[in-house]
Amino acid sequence: MSSLDTQNLSLTEHHDRYDAIDPASTLAGSASGKVIFITGGSRGIGQATAVAFAEAGAKAVYVTARSEAELEKTRDLVRQANPNTQCAYSTCDVTSAARVKAAVSDCVEEFGGIDVADANAGYLDHWTKIGESDPESWWRTWEVSVRGVYHVIRFSLPHLIESAKRRAAEGSSGGHLILLSSIGAQALVPTASDYQTSKHAINRLCEFVNVDHGQDGIKCFAVHPGGVATGLGRNMPEERHVYLTDSPELAASFIVWLASGKADWATGRYLSANWDVEELTALKDEILRDDLLVNRLRTRA
């Protein structure tokens, strides 16, 4: 048994959207009245997430990325999925605090607030041993994956806290923060030092958001989106492409499920989009009792 096997839940695995997380059926209306802010929303998982929230009845979706042409495609797909969902976008490099702050402000000015923030932007160069790595490329992974995620957290939090308080008063759930992690966060694969350490940091950052702002009503999750054959995913060594078997709609639908409030009990934890959500929910008491799905140093009793 590998160390990774001991850090995964033995649940039924899914590779595409299924009934329990389908935004167009089971979760239809779950995003009604909500404003969704998504970075990295021009293609792949981010684009699929924008469409999924539209299917779930979101009031508005605001997407950012570096390519305006690709963002226009996302806007068109959102409109096709639900003509009643408004969509706006802005070009944004998440490594720039000023650009992320401006995008968040633009979203709030346009749509009146933010109920869900999805830090989806990522970066992955070709894997190589530390001693043979390019310092600029290695650190770029951290700049996008950690600094970029921090920027989204930092500037969306005041609006998410407001959403959480407002919706709690209404008897519903708001203030959801989704951080794109990876199963690689729990792995130790040779040549993957930049990517896997950055994702491990994301899991811990999620825990800190919960410690600092759980009392403010924030529900934060670090999400493994599955193995998706995005441009980023295909930068892994070719022998690992065999794991890229999941649709972007799986992660997108799982994120809509998280934002529906059905998993608020699991805030501050690492969750995999591959896990069957009904089986996951059945483990709620055990997960909370034993404080599972968080990063801890194991020592002798």
The predicted-structure confidence for 212-235, as pLDDT tens digits, reads as follows: 999 999 999 999 998 876 666 555
pLDDT tens, position by position, 107-158:
999 999 999 999 998 888 888 999 999 999 999 999 999 999 999 999 999 9
pLDDT bucket at 1, cuts 50 / 70 / 90 = very low
CA torsion through residues 62, 272, 231, 248, sign: negative
Fold of 14-289: Rossmann fold (3.40.50)
Catalytic residue status for 195: yes
CB under 8 Å to 138, separation ≥6 — which residues? 125, 130, 193, 194
- DSSP alpha helices (H): ranges in 22-84? 44-55, 68-81
The alpha carbons of the chain give a radius of gyration, in whole angstroms, of: 18
State the pTM of this model.
0.94
Question: By three-state DSSP, how is residue 273 classified?
Answer: coil
In the numeric block, which tokens belong to residue 189? Answer: 């694969």
Q: Which of 62, 150, 195, 270 is catalytic?
A: 195
Side-chain half-sphere exposure of 218, counting CA atoms within 13 A: 27
Instruction: Please check whether residue 23 is in contact with residue 53, taking contact to mean a CB–CB distance below 8 angstroms.
Output: yes
In the numeric block, which tokens belong to residue 69? Answer: 């042409």
Phi and psi (nearest 5°) for 35?
Answer: -110, 130
Average pLDDT over residues 176-191: 93
- Helix, strand, coil share (%) of the chain residues, nearest 5: 50, 15, 35
Catalytic residue status for 129: no
Phi and psi (nearest 5°) for 91?
Answer: -75, 140
d(CA 229, CA 220): 26
Question: By three-state DSSP, how is residue 149 classified?
Answer: helix
68 burial level (CB within 10 Å; 0-12, 13-18, 19+) = exposed
- Give percent of the chain with pLDDT exceeding 90: 84
N-to-C CA span, the chain: 22
Q: Which of 59, 123, 150, 199 is catalytic?
A: 199
290 burial level (CB within 10 Å; 0-12, 13-18, 19+) = exposed
Q: Where are the domains of the chain?
A: 14-289
pLDDT bucket at 241, cuts 50 / 70 / 90 = low
pLDDT tens, position by position, 7-60:
779 999 999 999 999 999 999 999 999 999 999 999 999 999 999 999 999 999
Q: What is the mean pLDDT of the chain?
A: 92
Residue linked to tokens 């933010």: 114
In the numeric block, which tokens belong to residue 10? Answer: 């033995």
